[in-house]
């Protein structure tokens, strides 16, 4: 049965209201995205350089560093998984991609005899994990719109303490790498132990070159001031902090990009829906008019007959 | 006498603050003051807060108030990674003094051998250095 004109008009009104909201959210996300994009782009070269430097210093320090943060644990029993996503939803697959990747990795560790220990940054991954019965060891929330360095430090300190105290034997981190407003990729990186840490492609190449040079004996001995072990004592915590900070910033830029895209799609869909409904309303109005004319004609005929 | 120039990059978490050819870099490592010229031996050093000077020529130099960081010299290039770097003109002495007082208060309240104490000590050292640069 065709809907009455009034019903359709009400629906159009509702859809228009929703469209206003999604438009507003799209614009807010776009404004925040610009700032978040600048921050992550400024941080990337620094973060890459710190990571390269840490590896180099760790190699130079050799196998005898007495720093517990540098020690590879004999047994690989518990793996810490930090899931970095957002506090809020309405951002397409942004949050669920991270949860899915993290939980899949956790299952795999489980199947291979290692216990996954979850940590969540952002309210969404925290509640998703709890909902699945995978209670995180700790949740960090309330800053994902605009993370400060202090937030990264807090998370990094907790994770490093977990590693030093044998609560975890390995630390993996999952976040949305920001590529463009419409493209984000789920990244999985190993931060600790340093010996197994994920090396980014670019630095991988540099390192191979460095190794070649060393092999051919052209490279002069590197001087350390103070010695590598003292440098590492400060460098490793900095490296973990910066890596976490980078993940937070990548994630924030990705979140705003994902939300902007999701809201734009929602606004476009609302526009299409309004068009369809307007057609339907016109048809309903025409049907009502036709009906009324028929009634008038029928009535007139009845009188004249 | 003019020295040969070499490439120096200064990066902070907020972005690149300097990327150019200079004759000499003057900064301070955990061991002491250091001046780096072209073709310096490869070095990896931990930096303390100080006034970073990048000499364009004998008499001309670009100055920064530099926080803790690291310096790597390799292949005749210097890379400085510092937590903060400000042009001396951007420093505000009165706000630095305020933050210094707060750091000192936190240092008093912090227990021995705690992370809080270490953070406060680092803050204090950095702010003192910045303040002396701002007032110079």
Nearest CA-CA partner of A151 in A242, A48, A37 = A242
Which site among A49, A59, A150 would you substitute to test the B interface, given the most B Cβ atoms closer than 10 Å to its Cβ? A49
Give A43's contacts in chain B (Cβ within 8 Å). Answer: 13-15
Cβ pair B79:A49 closer than 8 A: yes
How far apart, in whole angstroms, are the C-alpha atoms of residue B81 and residue B96?
22
- CB of A218 within 8 Å of a chain B CB? The answer is no
CATH number of B6-86: 2.60.15.10
Q: What percent of chain A has pLDDT over 90?
A: 63
**How many other CB atoms are there within 10 angstroms of residue A125's CB atom?**
29
Tell me, yes or no, if A133 comes closer than 8 A to chain B by beta carbon: no
How much is the mean pLDDT over chain A?
88
Task: Please tell me the predicted confidence (pLDDT) of residue A255.
Answer: 95
Q: Does position A184 have pLDDT exceeding 90, yes or no? A: yes
Task: Tally Cβ neighbours within 10 Å of residue B76.
Answer: 13
With beta carbons less than 8 A apart as the criterion, state whether A184 and A261 touch. no
Asked if CATH classification 1.20.1250.20 holds for the domain at A44-258, the reply, yes or no, is no
Contacts of residue B65, defined as CB under 8 A and 6 or more positions apart, other chains included, come to: B49, B51, B52, B84, B85, B86, B87, B88, B91, B129, B130, B133, B134
Q: Is B106 on the interface with A (CB under 8 A)?
A: no
Q: What is the pLDDT of residues B52-84, one digit of tens each?
A: 999 988 888 899 999 999 999 988 999 999 999
| Cβ separation B74–A222 shorter than 8 A | yes
Contact B42 A220 (CB under 8 A): yes
Structure confidence at residue B1 (pLDDT): 56
pLDDT at B112: 76
* Confidence bin at A3 (pLDDT 50/70/90): low
Token pair listed for A31: 């404004």
Residue A212 has pLDDT above 50, yes or no: no
Residue of A nearest to B16 (CA): A42
**In chain A, domain spans:** 44-258
> Looking at A16-20, A65-69, A139-143, B104-108, which range is the least confident one?
A65-69
Retrieve residue A4's tokens: 């009455």
Contact residues for A47 (Cβ-Cβ < 8 A; gap 6+): A242, A243, A245, A246, B13
Instruction: Establish whether the linkage from the previous residue to A193 is cis, with ω within 30° of 0.
Output: yes
Closest CB to A46: pick one of B11, B41, B115. B11
Q: pLDDT grade, residue A289 (50/70/90)?
A: very high
Q: Which of residues 76-105 of B touch A (CB under 8 A)?
A: 79, 81
pLDDT of residue B107: 86
DSSP-derived letter for residue B4 is P
The SS3 assignment for B86 reads strand
Q: Which residue has the higher pLDDT, A201 or B122?
A: B122
| Rounded average pLDDT over A133-156 | 92
| Residue A63, pLDDT score | 60
Model pLDDT for residues A60-97, shown as the tens digit of each residue: 777 656 778 888 888 889 999 999 999 998 888 999 99
Total number of residues shown for chain A: 305
Is the model more confident about B43 or about A211?
B43
Only one residue has tokens 């309004």, namely A274
A105 pLDDT higher than 90:
yes
- Token pair, residue A17, equals 């209201």
Residue bearing the bigger pLDDT, B126 or A65:
B126
Kindly identify which residue of chain B lies nearest to residue A51, measuring between CA atoms. Answer: B81
Q: Is B70 on the interface with A (CB under 8 A)?
A: yes
Cα distance from A222 to chain B (closest Cα, Å)? 5
- Lowest mean pLDDT segment, chosen from A53-57, A62-66, A238-242, A245-249: A62-66
In A, which residues are within 8 Å of B15 by CB distance?
A: 41-43
Rounded CA separation A175/B109 (Å): 37
Give the model's confidence band at A224: pLDDT under 50 very low, under 70 low, under 90 confident, else very high. confident
Confidence of residue A220 (pLDDT cuts 50, 70, 90): low
Return the pLDDT at B9. Answer: 94
Is the C-alpha dihedral spanning B45, B51, B55, B59 positive or negative?
negative
Question: Looking at the predicted structure, is the pLDDT value of residue B109 above 90?
Answer: no
Nearest chain B residue (CA) to A232: B46
Is residue A80 within 8 angstroms of chain B, CB to CB? Answer: no
Q: CA of A149: which chain B residue's CA is closest?
A: B13
Q: How many degrees, rounded to 5, is the angle at CA A187 between CA A181 and CA A191?
A: 135
Q: Per-residue pLDDT tens for B12-51?
A: 998 899 999 999 999 999 889 999 999 999 999 999 999 9
How confident is residue B121, by pLDDT bands cut at 50, 70 and 90? confident
Mean pLDDT of all residues in A152-171: 93
B42–chain A nearest CA distance, Å: 5
Chain A neighbors of B14, CB-CB under 8 A: 39, 42-43
How do residues B80-103 score in pLDDT, each as one tens digit? 999 999 998 888 888 999 999 998
For residue B120, pLDDT beyond 90: no
| Interface subset of A 141-170, CB within 8 angstroms of B | 149, 157
More confidently predicted of A210 and A230:
A230
**Band of the pLDDT at A18, cuts 50, 70, 90?**
very high
* pLDDT of A200 higher than 60: no
d(CA B71, CA A8): 68
């Amino acid at each position: 049965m065709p809907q009455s004109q009034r019903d359709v008009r009400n629906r159009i009104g509702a859809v228009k209201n929703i469209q206003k909201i999604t438009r507003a959210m799209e614009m807010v996300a776009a404004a925040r995205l610009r700032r978040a994009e600048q921050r992550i782009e400024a941080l990337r070269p620094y973060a890459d350089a710190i990571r390269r430097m840490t590896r180099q210093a760790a190699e130079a320090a050799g196998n005898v560093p007495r720093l517990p943060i540098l020690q590879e644990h004999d047994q690989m029993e518990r793996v810490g998984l930090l899931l970095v996503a957002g506090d809020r939803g309405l951002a397409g697959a942004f949050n669920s991609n991270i949860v899915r990747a993290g939980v899949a990795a956790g299952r795999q560790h489980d199947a291979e005899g290692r216990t996954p220990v979850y940590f969540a940054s952002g309210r969404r991954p925290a509640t998703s994990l709890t909902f699945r019965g995978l209670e995180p060891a700790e949740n960090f929330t309330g800053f994902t719109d605009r993370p400060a360095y202090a937030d990264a430090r807090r998370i990094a300190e907790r994770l490093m303490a977990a590693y030093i105290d044998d609560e975890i034997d390995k630390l993996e981190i999952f976040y949305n790498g920001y590529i463009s407003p419409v493209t984000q990729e789920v990244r999985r990186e190993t931060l600790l132990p340093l010996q197994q840490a994920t090396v980014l492609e670019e630095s991988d190449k540099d390192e191979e070159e460095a190794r070649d040079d060393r092999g051919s004996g052209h490279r002069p001995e590197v001087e350390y001031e103070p010695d590598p072990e003292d440098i590492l004592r400060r460098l490793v915590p900095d490296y973990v902090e910066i890596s976490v900070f980078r993940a937070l910033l990548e994630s924030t830029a990705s979140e705003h990009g994902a939300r902007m895209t999701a809201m734009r799609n929602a606004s476009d869909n609302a526009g299409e829906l309004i068009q369809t409904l307007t057609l339907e309303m016109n048809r309903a109005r025409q049907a009502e008019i036709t009906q009324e004319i028929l009634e008038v004609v029928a009535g007139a005929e009845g009188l004249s007959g | 006498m003019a020295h040969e120039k070499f490439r120096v990059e200064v990066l902070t978490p907020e972005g690149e603050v300097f990327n150019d050819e200079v004759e000499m870099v003057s900064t301070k490592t955990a061991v002491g003051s250091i001046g780096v010229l072209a073709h310096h031996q490869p070095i990896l050093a931990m930096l303390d807060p100080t006034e970073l000077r990048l000499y364009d020529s004998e008499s001309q130099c670009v100055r920064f108030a530099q926080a803790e960081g690291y310096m790597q010299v390799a292949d005749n290039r210097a890379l400085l990674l510092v937590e903060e770097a400000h042009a001396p003109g951007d420093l505000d002495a009165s706000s630095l003094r305020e933050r210094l007082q707060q750091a000192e208060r936190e240092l008093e309240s912090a227990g021995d051998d705690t992370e809080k104490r270490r953070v406060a000590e680092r803050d204090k050292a950095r702010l003192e250095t910045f303040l002396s640069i701002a007032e110079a």
